[in-house]
Each structure stands twice: as C-alpha cells, then as structure tokens.
Amino acid sequence: MIDSLSDIGAALADSQPGKLAKLYRDLRLDLRYDNEKEAVYATTSLRVNNAGVRGGT
C-alpha cells in the first residue's frame, strides 16, 4: 500500500496544501481541530485488500 502512495516523505517535506490534501485523501486521513482545546484529532479508515483462493486442493 505504501508504494502506491508514492514518496510520502517528499509530499510531507514539500508542504504545499494541494499535495498535503491529496496525501491525506490517499491515506484516508481526517483531521479535526478543536479550537477550545487547541488540539488536532486524526482519524483514518483502514482499507482491507484481501485476495483469496476458492476451492479445495
């Protein structure tokens, strides 16, 4: 999965809002800022990539 997101380090170092937004979307990362607590809450959704073989041997 990480390979499919290209160079995460470069995207973070670049810090352009458009590239960061794309990275966050690709990671399914949701950031919420609580102004009262001055805190950021991060959540993500896990993707399951499951491949199986049907049938017996």
Distance between alpha carbon 57 and the CA centroid of its chain, in Å? 38
pLDDT tens figures, 1-18: 455 556 666 767 767 888
Contact 24, 10 (CB under 8 A): no
Please, where are the H alpha helices in the chain?
Answer: 8-14, 17-26
Which residue in 5, 40, 41 sits closest to 25, CA to CA? 5
Contact 27, 5 (CB under 8 A): yes
DSSP label at 55? S
Which contiguous run of DSSP H or E holds residue 40?
Answer: strand 39-44
pLDDT tens figures, 34-57: 999 999 999 987 766 666 666 655
